[in-house]
Structures are given as structure tokens and as C-alpha cells.
Structure 1
Amino acid sequence: MPQNDTIQIELSKIIHAQLWRVVRLLTRIEDFPHFVPSVKQVRVILKHHNLMQTEWQVKVDGVPVQWVEEDTLLLDKGLILFKAISGDLKEFQGSWRFNPHPEGTKVEVTASLKIDIPIIKDFAVSYMQKLLQSNFEAILNGLEQRLVSLRYATYNNDMAKNLAGFGIVGHLYNYVHLEKSLRNLRPEISLPSKEFLAKLFHVTPSFKLYDIKGFKSANGDLVDGCFIMATFIPDMLDDDIWGVFSKVVKACKIAEKHGVGIVSLGGFASIVADRIGQEVANEVDVPVTSGNTLASVMAIDGVVKAAALLSLNLSEAKMAIIGGGGDIGSACARSFIHKVKQLVLADRIKSRLTQMKAELGKNGALSLT
């Protein structure tokens, strides 16, 4: 049972952006509905010097909340004070604080809310605590993602000076690899059962494993990067492929926070999206690449050389490409469509075959299955 009727919220987040950018975005509250899902409508009623009155309409967990607040902007002190003056939230007040941080800007929000509703007060206090915290978490996460999106949008107007380096997304390749990695970190560890460890690893979010400093490219340039661990092993693709896809997307978003110029998907991280007909690049702002181009070139080159060794005339051959609608398969199809007598494409996803037919179907050598 709650001991009093006052809710206290304290949250903080390191946002990888300059302080002035964070403050500018936070004070443009009319834009909140575009990037904070819980905020349905907000508008400035009155603005005079460093004082504002704002009207909010928020919906959290299906619960609509409305109030009018008064904001005091003390930006020279890295501080914004707010308090409700009418609406559903009584005695609601708090502050936003901004401080420079080595990785960007540390944003801290504190808020208090008094609940005084007879009969249901005990329930309302704990319930509103969750709603209030969820709303501020949504604002912090929305601010962060919006700043990331704005940063990468500068690619289109040649202003991406703050984007540099690379991110590599990788993963462990089986449970033995997972166990070996854990023992390398702590040789004396007594590991739990495989079933328990597998489930725990499955719910663990992707994370940055280490930084890569001073990587020297072939032309002698030095560049920094980071390695992001996507917490899955290939066995998980059969059980929860969408969950694995989500882990890969979140790994890319971690790289985004560090302002890298490009992310490379390694191992099965580059395959999972292809299996479900999705594109990781459509879910993130950072440019994404993989080893599929190199794999395609090697596959094409390998087939041509093998045909020569077997004295096989490709122009008289019938070729089948399994997975012909995927990244690698479709690249091979485009290369061989005019080199073989008949090309058969097979794929689990019908829409990808339909797309290939639209692209290559004018050539009578193509058939689909």
C-alpha cells in the first residue's frame, strides 16, 4: 500500500547530441506529437520572454490525460521548470536539466504529482506512477530518436560532418560459442542449464561490446568504429525470426546513437531480414551494408569458372537459383539471365518472385517456381 499520495519521478538519459540541439528540440513542443507517440496534441497558449503556458493532451496505456502547464525557461542555467495550473493533473510540477557529457548531453527530468481521489487513491497512486514514468520515458526516447533522424537527414544536404566511422553488427554462432565466450570472461563461472541460459540470452537486448580505435584503411586513413553485439544465435531464427530481426534493428540503432557513418551487418544479421522479406535499412536512419555484394560476385565468378572446368557451355545450360528473390540470388539472376538458355528462380516468398518477374520476365529464358 502506498505510504503517501505524492508520486515522485526521476529519470535521466545520455543523448548523443550537442546540448543546444537537445534544448532546441525540447522547447519546440508543438513538434512532440510527430515523434512522441504518447503526446497526441500540444500547443503554446501564451509566450512572454522566458515564460510559456502550454496545453497538453496525452494518452498513455489508453488513458487520456489533459492539463495546462506553466513553463519557466532558465536556459542559461540549463534548466526548465514546469507546473500544472489546471486540468487532470493536480499539484503536478518538476524540472528538466541539461548538462554537457563526454558522449553528448545528460538530460535529467524530475516530476512530482499529488493524487487525492477518495476511495481509489491507493490504486490511483501506483497506477499514475507507472503512467507518468512511461510518458517521460517516451519523451526522452522520442527526443533521442528524433535527433538521430535529423542528424542522418543531413546526408541529403552534405552537412554530415558529425557522422564518421563505422559500426559492425555481429552475433555468436551457437550455444557452445556463447558458453565459451562467458568462460573467457570469467573462467571460474558455473553456468546454468542450456535452457535457462538460452532464454536469458534471448531476452537480453543488443549492446555495444567494444570500440574500435584507429582502424587503418587500405589507403592509410585512420577511422574509429564500434562492434555491436546482436544477442541471438542462428538457432533462434527458426523459433522467433521476428524477434531476431528486432534485435538486428536495435543493434543498428545503437550504432546510430554513436554517430557512425555506416553500419555493416555480419553473419546471419544480414540474412534474417531477407528471410522475412524485410529491409533493415527501412527501419533505421544510418546507411546499412552487408557482405551480400561480395558474396554475389564470388558466387557468379565461381559458377563461371566451374562451368569452364567442366567444359559446360552456359549458353546451352539450364540454371536454377534457390532463393532467387533474395539479395544474393537476385544479383546472380540479373547476371545470368542473358548468359544461360533457361533460368529457373525458386523462393519461399512469392512477392519476391513476382518482383523478379516484373524486372526480368521480358526474357523468355526465365521461369519461376
Structure 2
Amino acid sequence: MRNVVLTIESTACDAAEAYLRIGKFERYPELVDDVRSITVSSDDDHPGALRSDWEVHFRNGPLRWSEVDTFEPDMLRITFEQTHGDFEFFHGVWEVEPLGAGCRVRFEVTFDFGIPSLEGVLEPIATKVLKEGIAYALLQVLGDAAVVGDPAVSAALAAKLATTAA
């Protein structure tokens, strides 16, 4: 089981607006190449929550899952938990807090593919892909993003921006 935490700071977007933008998951495929599709719908089993069906590019093929997304606007928090899909276990949280005129976003996910023999190979790759993908998504969603406390992800984001600009 792997726990991934990524913190991003933005000066371009205040906390309330960031929370609204982050929760529009259906926009992510147009912003991030590795996100192939996201379908968002109401969830009759969880009143007040949404269901989102994700397909992302991972290694040499698609990774798919469905999750329940629970929005807590008073706390600027979105929790999510896989209901079915390619993970054995997948749940986490988006938390937004004010930071001056901007905001700080904390993304945390705990996941397990449920394949012990490949855990040492798949989970580190998935961690890297998740962190870099979320950092890039937040940059697109918020208008700017500075990775906090993770130089490797910060460097990967800068490299992606340089490649995209070229």
C-alpha cells in the first residue's frame, strides 16, 4: 500500500475559486494528455456526492476506476474513494486552504494494486505518475502552481512546461 502526498501553492487563484475549479473533474481530459476520459454523474447510493469514472494512460495501457467524490465546500475539501476498478484500494482527499491572496492545495491518496509480487515495481511508478500528473493538472486548473517540498516533481513539472512550450 502506498500513500502519496503532494502540496501545491498558487498565487493566481484564491482558495474558494481553486476548490470550485479542482472539483470540475470532467475538464481534466482537455487539460492533461494522460487523462483520457472522466465521466461525472450523480450517485444515487451516496446523496450529495458525485460518481466519477476515470480512464488515464498508465505505462502501456489504460488504468480505469470509478469513485465516489464527496464535496465539503465549508471545509474546501473533496474526499474520494474507488467503488470499483483497477486498484485493490484507492481513496484520498483534496484540501484547499487560503494562502495570502492565493491558496495551498494538498492532494493525498492511498492506493494498492493488490499484486504483491509487482508492488515494488508498479507502486513507485504509479506514485511518480500521480504526483507529476496532479501537479500538471493543478497548474492548468489554477493558472500557476509551485510544488512544495518535492524537488523531483518540481523539476518534472518544469521539464513538462519546457517541452510543451517548445
Task: Give the TM-score range, shorter chain.
Answer: 0.7 to 0.9
CA offset at residue 89 of structure 1? 1.1
* SS at 2:50 equivalent: strand
The 1-side partners of 2:117 and 2:105 are apart by 31
Q: Is the 8 A contact 1:84 1:92 kept in 2?
A: yes
Aligned 1:111-126 pairs, distance under 5 A: 111-117=109-115, 121-126=116-121
Deviation readout 1:243-269 (Å, 9 max, x if unpaired): xxx99x85xxxxxxxxxxxxxxxxxxx
Q: Is the 8 A contact 1:115 1:125 kept in 2?
A: no
Match of 2:38 in 1: 42
Number of residue equivalences: 149
Match of 2:64 in 1: 66
Q: Which runs of 5+ in 2 are unaligned?
A: 145-154
2:129 counterpart of 1:134 = yes
The 2-side partners of 1:130 and 1:140 are apart by 15
Deviation readout 1:205-256 (Å, 9 max, x if unpaired): 7xxxxxxxxxxxxxxxxxxxxxxxxxxxxxxxxxxxxxxxx99x85xxxxxx
Instruction: Label 1:30 to 1:18 Cα distance change in 2 as closer, same or farther (>3 A).
Output: same
Q: Is the 8 A contact 2:89 2:112 kept in 1?
A: yes
Instruction: Label 1:146 to 1:95 Cα distance change in 2 as closer, same or farther (>3 A).
Output: closer
CA offset at residue 103 of structure 1? 5.8
Q: Is the 8 A contact 2:39 2:53 kept in 1?
A: yes
Match of 1:145 in 2: 140
Instruction: Label 1:130 to 1:34 Cα distance change in 2 as closer, same or farther (>3 A).
Output: same
Task: Calculate percent identity across the aligned residue pairs.
Answer: 20
Match of 2:92 in 1: 94
CA offset at residue 126 of structure 1? 3.7
Deviation readout 1:290-330 (Å, 9 max, x if unpaired): xxxxxxxxxxxxxxxxxxxxxxxxxxxxxxxxxxxxxxxxx
Q: Which amino acid aligns with 1:147?
A: L
The structure richer in helix per residue is 1
CA offset at residue 114 of structure 1? 2.2
Q: Is the 8 A contact 2:16 2:76 kept in 1?
A: no
Q: Which runs of 5+ in 1 are unaligned?
A: 1-5, 150-204, 206-245, 251-281, 285-369
Match of 2:55 in 1: 57
Q: Which amino acid aligns with 1:82?
A: F
Q: Is the 8 A contact 1:45 1:52 kept in 2?
A: yes
Q: Which amino acid aligns with 2:81?
A: K
The 2-side partners of 1:104 and 1:87 are apart by 35
Deviation readout 1:274-299 (Å, 9 max, x if unpaired): xxxxxxxx949xxxxxxxxxxxxxxx
The 2-side partners of 1:125 and 1:64 are apart by 20
Q: Is the 8 A contact 1:91 1:113 kept in 2?
A: yes
CA offset at residue 55 of structure 1? 0.4
Instruction: Label 1:51 to 1:43 Cα distance change in 2 as closer, same or farther (>3 A).
Output: same
The 2-side partners of 1:13 and 1:59 are apart by 23
The 2-side partners of 1:96 and 1:30 are apart by 16
The 2-side partners of 1:66 and 1:7 are apart by 18
Superposition RMSD in Å: 2.7
CA offset at residue 14 of structure 1? 0.5
* SS at 1:37 equivalent: coil
Q: Larger RCO: Structure 1 or Structure 2 (Cα < 8 Å, ≥ 6 residues apart)?
A: 2
The 1-side partners of 2:10 and 2:58 are apart by 23
The 2-side partners of 1:125 and 1:58 are apart by 21
CA offset at residue 78 of structure 1? 1.6
Q: Is the 8 A contact 2:22 2:141 kept in 1?
A: no
Match of 1:290 in 2: none
Deviation readout 1:326-349 (Å, 9 max, x if unpaired): xxxxxxxxxxxxxxxxxxxxxxxx
Instruction: Label 1:148 to 1:115 Cα distance change in 2 as closer, same or farther (>3 A).
Output: closer
Aligned 1:184-199 pairs, distance under 5 A: none
* SS at 2:124 equivalent: helix
* Segments ≥4 residues shifted beyond 6 Å: none
Aligned 1:180-259 pairs, distance under 5 A: none
The structure richer in strand per residue is 2
TM-score scaled to structure 1, two decimals? 0.37
Instruction: Label 1:69 to 1:136 Cα distance change in 2 as closer, same or farther (>3 A).
Output: farther
Match of 1:20 in 2: 16
